[in-house]
Amino acid sequence: MRHDTFVLSLMWRETRNCVKSANLSDLAWVVLGGSAFLAYGAGNAVVALRRGSETLRARQEPWIIVLLAAFALGLAGGVILSKVAWSRAFAPFLKALPLSITERRRMAAVAALSIGAPFVVLAGAGVGAACLRVDKPYAAAWGFGAGTTCAAGVASALYLQLFVANNEAPDDLSTPFANAAKCIPAPWLATFDRAAPAWLGAWACGLPAGALRLTARLFATSFLFVLAAALAIGASLARHEAAPAAVAGMIGGLIAFMISLRCHPLGSPVLRTTPQGFMSVWLRLLRLPLVLSAVCFVAPASAAVIAEPSAWTTPVASGLCLLILNGAYAVFAGFFLNAPLVAALAFFIAIAYAGYEFLEYGDTVIIGFAALIALLWHKSLRRYRHG
Amino acid sequence: MDKSAALDVLTVRGVSAGYRGRRIVADISVELRFGDVLGLLGANGSGKSTLLKAVTGQIRLMAGTVAIAGVDLEQAPERAKAELGLAIDGPELPSALSGRQYLELVASIRSCAASDWPCSDVVSRLGLSAWLARPIAEYSLGTRAKISIAAALLGSPKLLIFDESLNGLDPLAAFEVKEMIRELAATGRHAIVVSTHVVETVPALCTRAIFLADGRIVEHWNTQELAQASQAPGAFESCVMKALNAHALQSAAVA
């Protein structure tokens, strides 16, 4: 069909325009910094492979984990790709055109597969090269296996997102009351959201007129949170150890904070043309997510104290750690203000990388991480003030 | 600060601004006093919105200064913006909030009541009463413009800016908005900038007008000239078209 590559071509043009409109200095940072970072990462990986070559050559378990990781990577990539492609298939100028859902689905699938295929090849080639580096027998077969499992991940995500879940146009932000019947008023929200600037939390989280939208996703997320907390609390109480519940509280609190924090109002002229400073708006945006984070933390942390009263410092330390992580993520979210998923990915990569380098360089890495946070904060502040 | 500067609500001196190092407007100087209504005219892409973004502190100035009620926008942005009311573009409004919540948001920032307007009964005059409880996402283009205008007036800021806010308004609402602008200017407590493509609105509403082309002021009209130009129907429109054509010829000659 002649429309099949339309979404792909649209995405290509968007990327090209994005690069064209970027500052030369920003592009230089991305290209040079990114290349240096990749080279450094590849060098580190080669050294790590050489160090563990004997184990990696002899044992199969690490490679099975690699295959599972390739599947997970493919799945995650596939979800992102299909979501982006599906939204483009319903771009405003395409909405009114006489294209059936099947045609739109096919356009999105072609785009997602075309972009996903090189990543699958890269994943397979990377694993194959690693096998060759440690002289693993059947290196090509392992590489092919990794590529295949990654492709299976991408294909599963595409199938689930495009052919099972999406039978209608994606949610339109401009019509949040389309599901009016599923909205319930949330008067308790007003207590948190009345302080100046009023209703900022409802605006940031997209709660239509301050009401709560009851969606399947909200129920599923709440269920998972409750289940994880219950399991961790049960483990702590059964073993009389504070650690499981304290750690679960910290992770749950962080995830709740990350899911609920939205910073897009920082980019809006509604606030930028008013006498409201960046700091006060940013802090105000954290209020509701911090309350949710505290709610998710308190129950497991209390259970941790009950399970092992003498180890009360464990939940206190995890609470402090949660506060620091929340603060760090809030800076990432403020920087990537319209892209919370990118903010979360960047945050996890930064934390993982800092953790990895911490083993080698110790406390110096913390200074580097703090410098990164300060840089992102400074850039967000400048953008708020000067666009 | 000299005495005349103290009377200025808006002082724009030698302003150049643009995006990513590219100048869109250059060397703009305008002064507005209490009671002034400035019409901002220009073709699409002439730099009207960029100039208003620079004046409202949304983009960094490449050169020049902007002062609102005597407060420098670069040096004290929060204090300067306290005297500014901008009617936000419809798509930029927080669509999840209801109209009332949006007014409460702006009122909380301006530390005033959500009904503290400089003229009476703004909500009913604009026909907004039935819409206030509903989310902005459900609003039409015109209703968005109405809530945006109502929010800009909250707290009675000294400088009011309407960037093509008359677009999409129904005739009754457009009439009411124009009446309000006249009333506000007559009080002598506000200065108003109206950017519009509806050329015929300008002589009836504004006390001064400027015409932008290629990011520069190429023509301006004072109160008397506007009055003269509006004596015959379509006269001011012809005047603007002449300015536009003259500039197009000049640009072609330079090229």
In the sheet that B208-213 helps form, which strands lie side by side, from edge to edge?
Answer: B84-87, B159-163, B191-195, B37-42, B208-213, B216-221
Q: Please report the residues numbered 138 through 197 in chain B whose beta carbons come closer than 8 angstroms to any beta carbon of chain A.
A: 138
Residue A70's domain comprises 6-165
pLDDT the model gives residue A176 = 46
Q: Among A21, A209, A272, whose Cβ lies nearest the Cβ of B97?
A: A209
Q: List CB contacts (< 8 A) between B84 and chain A.
A: 273
- Minimum mean pLDDT range among A107-121, A240-254, A271-285, B225-239: B225-239
* Cα A52 from Cα A67, distance rounded (Å): 18
- Average predicted confidence (pLDDT) for chain B: 91
Q: Is residue A158 part of a domain?
A: yes
Distance of residue A271 Cα from the nearest chain B Cα, in angstroms: 9
State which of A165, A200, A225 marks the end of a domain: A165
Burial B16-30 (b: 16+ CB within 10 A, else e): bbbeeeeebbbebeb
**Is 80 exceeded by the pLDDT of residue A157?**
yes
Q: List CB contacts (< 8 A) between B108 and chain A.
A: 195-198
Distance of residue A165 Cα from the nearest chain B Cα, in angstroms: 25
Handedness of CA A22, A25, A27, A33 (dihedral sign): negative
Q: Is residue A341 part of a domain?
A: yes
Q: Based on the domain organization, do A159 and A226 belong to the same domain?
A: no
pLDDT the model gives residue A169 = 59
- Minimum mean pLDDT range among A40-44, A301-305, B136-140: A40-44
Handedness of CA A99, A105, A108, A109 (dihedral sign): negative
Whether residue A377 contacts residue A331, with contact meaning beta carbons closer than 8 Å, is answered with: yes
Concatenating the DSSP letter of every residue in A29-55 gives IIIIIHHHHHHHHHHHHHHHHHHTHHH
Query: Averaged over A133-155, what is the pLDDT?
Result: 94
- Which among B147, B48, B165 is positioned nearest to B105, based on CA atoms? B147
Q: List CB contacts (< 8 A) between A208 and chain B.
A: 96, 135, 137
Distance of residue A177 Cα from the nearest chain B Cα, in angstroms: 8
Please indicate whether, in this complex, the C-beta atoms of B94 and A270 are within 8 angstroms of each other: yes
SS3 B238: helix
Q: Among B21, B81, B137, whose Cβ lies nearest the Cβ of A177?
A: B137
Q: A271 or B121: which carries more pLDDT confidence?
A: A271
Q: Please report the residues numbered 17 through 46 in chain B whose beta carbons come closer than 8 angstroms to any beta carbon of chain A.
A: 20-21
B82: contact with A, CB 8 A cutoff:
yes
Confidence at A234, pLDDT banded by 50, 70, 90: very high
Q: At what angle do helices A364-386 and A340-361 cross, to 10 degrees?
A: 150
* Cα A46 from Cα A49, distance rounded (Å): 5
Find the closest chain A residue to B56 by CA distance.
A273
Q: Is residue A187 part of a domain?
A: no
- Report the amino acid identity of residue B49: S
Q: Based on the domain organization, do A15 and A152 belong to the same domain?
A: yes
Q: How far apart are the first and last CA of chain A?
A: 42
pLDDT the model gives residue B20 = 78
Query: Averaged over A85-89, what is the pLDDT?
Result: 88
Q: Is residue A58 part of a domain?
A: yes
Q: Among B21, B78, B93, whose Cβ lies nearest the Cβ of A270?
A: B93
pLDDT the model gives residue B56 = 94
Q: Among A206, A273, A274, whose Cβ lies nearest the Cβ of B96?
A: A206
* Domains present along chain B, CATH in parentheses: 1-83+159-164+193-255 (3.40.50.300), 85-157 (no CATH)
* Cα B8 from Cα B31, distance rounded (Å): 6
- The β-bridge partners of B22 are B19
Confidence at A4, pLDDT banded by 50, 70, 90: confident
On the CB side of B76, CA atoms within 13 Å amount to: 10
pLDDT the model gives residue A2 = 66
H-run or E-run covering A185: strand A183-185
CA A136 to chain centre: 34
Confidence at A301, pLDDT banded by 50, 70, 90: very high
Q: Is residue A176 part of a domain?
A: no
Q: Please report the residues numbered 45 through 64 in chain B whose beta carbons come closer than 8 angstroms to any beta carbon of chain A.
A: 53, 56-60
Please indicate whether, in this complex, the C-beta atoms of A272 and B96 are within 8 angstroms of each other: no
Confidence at A102, pLDDT banded by 50, 70, 90: confident
10 Å CB burial of residue B221 (0-12, 13-18, 19+) is buried
Q: Which of A177-181, B45-49, B247-251 has the highest mean pLDDT?
A: B45-49
Q: Based on the domain organization, do A249 and A107 belong to the same domain?
A: no
Which residues, 6+ apart, have CB-to-CB distance to B155 below 8 Å?
Answer: B85, B106, B107, B110, B111, B112, B116
Find the closest chain B residue to A206 by CA distance.
B96
Which residues, 6+ apart, have CB-to-CB distance to A194 below 8 Å?
Answer: none
Q: Based on the domain organization, do A154 and A255 belong to the same domain?
A: no
Query: Averaged over B195-213, what is the pLDDT?
Result: 92
- Which among B139, B129, B137 is positioned nearest to A179, based on CA atoms? B137
Query: Averaged over B89-98, what is the pLDDT?
Result: 92
Q: B4 or A72: which carries more pLDDT confidence?
A: A72
**Is 70 exceeded by the pLDDT of residue A205?**
yes
Percent pLDDT > 90 in chain B is 75
pLDDT the model gives residue A254 = 97
- Minimum mean pLDDT range among A89-93, A159-163, B194-198: A89-93
pLDDT the model gives residue A356 = 84
Number of A to B CB contacts under 8 A, please give it. Answer: 108
Q: List CB contacts (< 8 A) between B93 and chain A.
A: 270
Q: Based on the domain organization, do A25 and A124 belong to the same domain?
A: yes
**Is 90 exceeded by the pLDDT of residue A180?**
no
Q: Based on the domain organization, do A245 and A335 belong to the same domain?
A: yes
Q: List CB contacts (< 8 A) between A197 and chain B.
A: 105, 108-109
10 Å CB burial of residue B70 (0-12, 13-18, 19+) is middle
Q: What is the CA radius of gyration of chain B?
A: 18
User: Which residues in chain B belong to E strands, given as ranges?
Assistant: 8-19, 22-33, 37-42, 61-68, 71-72, 84-87, 159-163, 191-195, 208-213, 216-221
Q: Is residue A208 part of a domain?
A: no
10 Å CB burial of residue A296 (0-12, 13-18, 19+) is buried
Query: Averaged over B98-107, what is the pLDDT?
Result: 95
**Is 90 exceeded by the pLDDT of residue B120?**
no
Q: Based on the domain organization, do A161 and A34 belong to the same domain?
A: yes
pLDDT the model gives residue B1 = 46
Q: Is residue A371 part of a domain?
A: yes
Please indicate whether, in this complex, the C-beta atoms of B78 and A276 are within 8 angstroms of each other: yes
Percent pLDDT > 70 in chain A is 95
Please indicate whether, in this complex, the C-beta atoms of A198 and B101 are within 8 angstroms of each other: yes
Q: List CB contacts (< 8 A) between A21 and chain B.
A: 20
State which of A165, A200, A231 marks the end of a domain: A165
User: Strands B191-195 and B37-42: what pairing?
Assistant: parallel
Query: Averaged over A261-286, what is the pLDDT?
Result: 94
Q: List CB contacts (< 8 A) between B159 and chain A.
A: none
SS3 A129: helix
Q: Based on the domain organization, do A261 and A129 belong to the same domain?
A: no
Q: Among B20, B79, B109, whose Cβ lies nearest the Cβ of A197?
A: B109
Q: Based on the domain organization, do A159 and A271 belong to the same domain?
A: no
Q: Based on the domain organization, do A24 and A84 belong to the same domain?
A: yes
SS3 B28: strand
How many domains does chain A contain in total?
2
The predicted-structure confidence for B30-84, as pLDDT tens digits, reads as follows 999 999 999 999 989 999 999 999 999 999 999 999 999 999 999 999 999 999 9
- φ, ψ dihedrals at B219, nearest 5°: -155, 145
Please indicate whether, in this complex, the C-beta atoms of A174 and B95 are within 8 angstroms of each other: yes
User: Strands A183-185 and B71-72: what pairing?
Assistant: unpaired
Q: Is the confidence metric ipTM above 0.85 for this complex?
A: yes
- Minimum mean pLDDT range among A187-201, B22-36, B241-255: B241-255
**Is 50 exceeded by the pLDDT of residue A384?**
yes
Query: Averaged over A326-342, what is the pLDDT?
Result: 93
Helix locations, chain A, DSSP H: 6-21, 24-28, 34-51, 53-58, 61-88, 92-95, 101-133, 139-158, 187-193, 200-205, 216-239, 243-260, 269-272, 278-307, 313-335, 340-361, 364-386
pLDDT the model gives residue A21 = 75
Q: Based on the domain organization, do A239 and A154 belong to the same domain?
A: no
Q: List CB contacts (< 8 A) between B18 and chain A.
A: none
Q: Is residue A182 part of a domain?
A: no
Whether residue B153 contacts residue B115, with contact meaning beta carbons closer than 8 Å, is answered with: no
- Residue identified by tokens 């530390």 is B111
- Minimum mean pLDDT range among A93-107, A292-306, A316-330: A93-107
Percent pLDDT > 90 in chain A is 58
- φ, ψ dihedrals at B42, nearest 5°: 160, 155
- Residue identified by tokens 């609190």 is A253
SS3 A212: strand
pLDDT the model gives residue A174 = 44
- Which among A130, A165, A126 is positioned nearest to A149, based on CA atoms? A126
State which of A131, A150, A165 marks the end of a domain: A165
Please indicate whether, in this complex, the C-beta atoms of B92 and A268 are within 8 angstroms of each other: yes
pLDDT the model gives residue A23 = 74
Concatenating the DSSP letter of every residue in A265-296 gives GGG-HHHHTTT--HHHHHHHHHHHHHHHHHHH
